[in-house]
Amino acid sequence: METQTTGLLKGSEITIKCLELLGVDVVFAYPGGQAIELHQALSRSGMRVVLPRHEQGGAFAAGGYARASGRVGVCMATSGPGATNLVSGIADAYMDSIPTVFITGQVPSSMIGKNVFQETDIIGVTRPIVKHSFLVLDANDIPRIMREAFYIAQSGRPGPVVVDIPKNVQQQKCKVDFDQAPELKYYHPDPALDPAAVGKIKAMIAASKRPCIYAGGGIISADASEELVKFAESYNIPVVTTLMGIGAIPDSHPLSLRWLGMHGTVYANYAANECDLLLAFGARFDDRVTGNPKSFAVGAKIVHVDIDDSEINKNKPADLGVLADIREVLTKLNEAPEPQEYAEWFARIREWKKKYPFHYRNKPDHVQPQFVMETLSRLTRGQAVIVPGVGQHQMWAAQYYDYNYPRQLLTSGGLGAMGFGLPAAMGAKVACPEKTVINIDGDGSFQMNIQELGTLFVEEIPVKMIILDNQHLGMVAQWEDRFYNHNRGNTVLGRCKGSNGCGSGKNCDDCDGTRCTDRPYPDFVMIANGYGIPGRNVFTREELVPAIEEMLAADGPFLLDVHTGYEEHVLPMIPPGGDYTAIIME
């Protein structure tokens, strides 16, 4: 922030001025009794205020903004239920290391702890899911605290910060210096790289016959994608990514094996597990990648580079742990590359890629979700920003769209929060108005924050939406099919009562598995129309291309409800607790 002094200002006005000086251009904010002072100050600010229709929508939107731009996303809510409605969005940002600041109103400080109306200890509630939090008790401290909050959120391993401001502090008048220095004596987010570590990594590469790079979301957070690609090319090493690392290297790159894990490519899983050197860069050995970590990459030496020392040796022991900024490490490694041919290793990889591509059984009379994503990728030339909800559609969006650049797939990875897609896409479009942003959702996930259609209309945010509508909680239903003898445990969203649970919308006693398309339930296009947003139903393959073309050509938001029916499983699939040798392919 620039040095600036002023006359008497309320704490609320100081807070908003701090946001302006910190370069914030948009706030996702929902008002309430204990935040009314903040909103009065916002009304006199030049910042854009996006009013979500639910605080959870605002929280996910702030996360989507941060994911798409790399800048700090800012969300604001009132005390009590307003603040607790942010919890899923805060946890999502924490799990995926997304730089966000959540500002909450609080009851007057003299009433804290007395269970007054709409009081909740949001500091205590969120303590396990924030990088740091502040309870402001003096308006004079606001400039320092806001500086610290933003610095903590975006430095080192990024994450969410909560700033809780009681109403009396918002109303307190004082004269402040906006250039107060942070007081972060015990926070050191930028570890110095040990020069010897670079030499050790090079030596381990030189001794390797089957190296593999395992790149995670840390590559995206560190803006190190260019350095990663240069490293892979310079050393001639194949790359697998995590779900969060998609886009760190283009899918079409010859060294890309795409992403690994439970629903990743077979060849990525084989390469990571059969390599003799695994270079883990900005990845945390998540359980959806490793399964049982004791059976993951058992024959490999492991180099783990991470900016968070708590991750090294946490889930998987490393032969060499390097605490450092991955971008700095890659830059040093790229100064004097030592490439090798690895002819035998690449021959094995080519065989795996040829034998085990992503595939599905083509059913011309069905609008299969995989076909929808392939068609969308072709019509957008692989350039759109894709923001899925959570479930089967999320995996198909990752599998069948061709990603070409970082921050192109924005997804709830660690938390896996249904309801993420629509509001996160909203935030992403606000951050990147020049890009085509498409929310890919399931009918279950979409309904969790469907109210944000109102925000899209009023705020004129032209997000495109495709619902892969199967009338089920698809991923849970898939697990029921695979591991629970097809027994449906409240996973059918439609009106179908049949034992097969086709979810077609038929009110029948014994479902035969056929689809019914004359009475879609719910009618998402009608709902969108009620919010002032155009839409279109798609029931056949012949309707799909013109429908997508109409959606892409629309000036504002547009919704496609694509009726896929519940017939497909996300494959390949590593069963829970299994390893790559147990991959289910059919």
Q: Which residues are catalytic?
A: 55, 117-118, 167, 475
Residue 367: name the closest of 585, 560, 572 by CA.
560
Per the CB < 8 A criterion, the answer to whether 244 and 388 are in contact is: no
Q: Could you give the CA distance from residue 88 to residue 401 in angstroms, rounded to a whole number?
A: 27
Distances (CA, A) of 436 to 379, 384, 405, 439: 12, 5, 14, 10
Distances (CA, A) of 8 to 18, 99, 398: 15, 31, 52
Alpha-carbon dihedral sign for residues 297, 298, 302, 308: positive
Q: In Å, how far from its chain's centre is CA 72?
A: 14
Residue carrying the six token digits 């996300």? 570
Q: Which phi and psi (to 5°) does residue 538 adopt?
A: -130, 120
Q: Which phi and psi (to 5°) does residue 202 adopt?
A: -60, -40
Per the CB < 8 A criterion, the answer to whether 413 and 15 are in contact is: no
Alpha-carbon dihedral sign for residues 321, 325, 329, 330: positive
Q: Could you give the CA distance from residue 51 to residue 57 in angstroms, rounded to a whole number?
A: 10
Q: Could you give the CA distance from residue 584 to residue 134 in angstroms, rounded to a whole number?
A: 47
Phi-psi map region of 244: left, alpha, beta (phi>0 left; psi -120 to 50 alpha) = alpha
Alpha-carbon dihedral sign for residues 112, 115, 116, 121: positive
- The torsion angle over the Cα atoms of residues 479, 484, 486 and 488, rounded to 10 degrees, is -80
> Within 10 A of 67 (CB to CB), how many other CB atoms are there?
30
Per the CB < 8 A criterion, the answer to whether 262 and 237 are in contact is: no
Contacts of 276 (CB under 8 A, 6+ apart): 208, 209, 210, 211, 299, 300, 301
For the chain, what's the residue count? 586
User: CA geometry: angle at 366 spanning 361 and 369, to 5°?
Assistant: 70
Q: Could you give the CA distance from residue 7 to residue 174 in angstroms, rounded to a whole number?
A: 8
The DSSP annotation for 358-390 comes to: S-----TTS--HHHHHHHHHHHTTT-SEEEE-S
Q: Could you give the CA distance from residue 509 to residue 497 in angstroms, rounded to a whole number?
A: 6
Residue 315 token pair: 């889930």
- Give the CA count within 13 Å in the CB-facing half-sphere of 88: 19
Residue 541 token pair: 């393959």
